Amino acid sequence: MIRIALSFSLLLLSLVSSGAVFAQAWPSKTVRIVLSQPPGSSPDILARMLAERLSKRWGQGVVVENRPGGQNVVGAQVAARAAPDGYTFYYATTAALVTNLYTFKSLPYDPRRDFTPVGMIGLSPFVFAVNPALPVNSLAELMAYAKANPDKLSVATEGRVTLSGLLADMVSATGGVKILHVPYNGVQPGILDTIAGRTQLTVQSSTALSTHLKRGALRPIAVSFPKRVSGLEEVPTIAETWPGFQYVGWHAVAAPAGTPEEAIRRFNRDLDASIKEPDMAQRLVEFGIVTEGAGTPEQLAEFLRAEHGRWSKLAKDIGVVPE
């Protein structure tokens, strides 16, 4: 009996030790981060910056795999169907994990069931930016100009049922003005047409507009964050014109459902440390990302639940018709 008990104890110790070794050993091979945006986009640049830092921390390769298309659907589907072995993660944005559920009639993945939250990267406010030739410097002036010049303004977005498209329609409806909505297939075409003067206004994330605003190709007139944004301190919030108005996108990391807890916790811990590194924190500010760290997987899960509640109501309030 003593021998049996001793053998059983040794077996348990071996299993516990094996688990500890697994936790310490992860990752033992290259980690893949799937991204729904194309090479050269702002999320792509940020994802590669994070990948470089994580690779140094882990002593393993971290590759970013671009799978753009379908308003994030292509990349999200690839990530959702990946083996949940701790070696595939998803650089997620608001559309992929939340709003697609309310703007598409059907999806080839389930945003709530197919992913496990890992950590937050940061919030990305939206910016109303105009061609410098347009004589407006604030949202109030834009509304006044639109009323005085009916049918003379057009706004470029990345699609009618995208975050920028929905925001453009919300602002027009709230202000009681008519602005021609010109939806584009992607972010950059609409920005470039506004710079060229083919449209007078564009609504995009601060991340997408950052470079163009810095060089003066576009003039920012309002941000959708509840408070003024670092790097755009001179730009009023929409809430300063319409109290209580808030509308933001965000960047986060998720993993296929069933991914080992050890991998999720380690990724979360090192994601938090990476985005708090002074140079990385500064780059996030430069890209218009507001961050307070990665938080915990549980906090991100709660945030996503709240986002679904908010967007479900918003979609009904503004009459979103799923496509």
> Where in the chain are the domains?
28-123+249-317, 125-240
What CATH class has 125-240? alpha beta
Mean pLDDT on 174-191: 92
Mean pLDDT on 294-309: 96
Residue 320's pLDDT band (cuts 50, 70, 90): confident
> By CB neighbour count within 10 A (0-12 exposed, 13-18 middle, 19+ buried), where does 106 fall?
exposed
Structure tokens at 79: 């990530």
Same fold, 28-123+249-317 and 125-240: yes
**Which range among 4-18, 54-68, 118-132, 297-311 shows the weakest confidence by mean pLDDT?**
4-18
Say whether pLDDT at 7 is over 80: no
**Which range among 1-15, 62-76, 103-117, 139-153 shows the weakest confidence by mean pLDDT?**
1-15
The pTM (predicted TM-score) of the whole model is 0.82
User: Who's near 257: CB < 8 A, 6+ residues apart?
Assistant: 80, 84, 113, 114, 115, 116
Residue 192's pLDDT band (cuts 50, 70, 90): very high
pLDDT at 208: 85
Mean pLDDT on 280-293: 88
Say whether pLDDT at 31 is over 70: yes
3-state secondary structure of 300: helix
Say whether pLDDT at 288 is over 50: yes
What CATH class has 28-123+249-317? alpha beta
Residue 124 identity:
S
Residue 255 CA to residue 84 CA, distance in Å, equals 7
